[in-house]
A and B are shown apart, each in its own frame.
Chain A
Amino acid sequence: MAIFGMGLTMAAVFIGFGLLIGTLFGFFGMGGSFLVTPALLVMGYPSTVAVGSGLAFVFGTSVIGALRHRDHGQVDYKLAGIMTVAMTLGIEGGKSVVFFLEATGMADLIINVAYVGLLAGVGLLTLRDAWSDSGDDTSSDLADRVQAIRIPPMVTLRGGVRVSAAIIFAVGLAIGVLSGFLGVGGGFLLMPAMMYGLGVPAAIAVGTDILQITISGAFGAFTYAQSGAVALPVVGFLLLGSALGARIGAGVTKLVDEDEIKGYFAAMLLAGSIAVASNKLGNVYGIELLNTVSTVLIFGAALLVSSAVVIAAVCRLRGDRPGHGVNSLHRRCAQYCVRHTTTFESVSR
Chain B
Amino acid sequence: MFGLELISGSVQAIATVGLVFAEAITLYVGYGALSSTLGQVIIDAVGGD
A residues near B (Cβ < 8 Å) are: 4-5, 56-57, 59-61, 63-64, 67-68, 218, 221-223, 225-226, 228, 230, 232-233, 235-236, 239-240, 243-244, 247, 314, 317-318, 320-321, 324-325, 327, 330
B residues near A (Cβ < 8 Å) are: 1-2, 4-5, 9-10, 12-14, 16-17, 19-21, 23-25, 27-28, 31-32, 35, 43, 46-49
Residues from chain A with Cβ under 8 Å of B21 in the complex: 59-60, 63, 218
Interface centre among A64, A223, A235, A318 (most CB of B within 10 A): A64
20 contacts between A and B (CB under 8 A): A4-B2, A57-B20, A63-B24, A64-B24, A64-B27, A64-B28, A218-B21, A221-B16, A222-B16, A228-B4, A232-B2, A239-B27, A243-B31, A244-B27, A247-B32, A317-B46, A318-B47, A321-B47, A325-B48, A327-B48
A333 to chain B, nearest CB (A): 9
Alpha-carbon distance between A57 and B24 when the two chains are bound, in angstroms: 10
A320 to chain B, nearest CB (A): 7
Contact of B28 among A223, A226, A243 (CB under 8 A): A243
Besides A225-B17, A247-B32, A321-B47, 15 more A-B contacts (Cβ < 8 Å) are: A59-B20, A63-B21, A221-B13, A221-B17, A225-B12, A228-B4, A232-B16, A240-B27, A243-B24, A243-B31, A247-B31, A320-B47, A324-B48, A327-B48, A330-B48
Residues from chain B with Cβ under 8 Å of A226 in the complex: 9-10, 12-13
Residues from chain A with Cβ under 8 Å of B12 in the complex: 225-226, 228
Residues from chain A with Cβ under 8 Å of B2 in the complex: 4, 232
Residues from chain B with Cβ under 8 Å of A225 in the complex: 12-13, 16-17
Alpha-carbon distance between A330 and B41 when the two chains are bound, in angstroms: 17
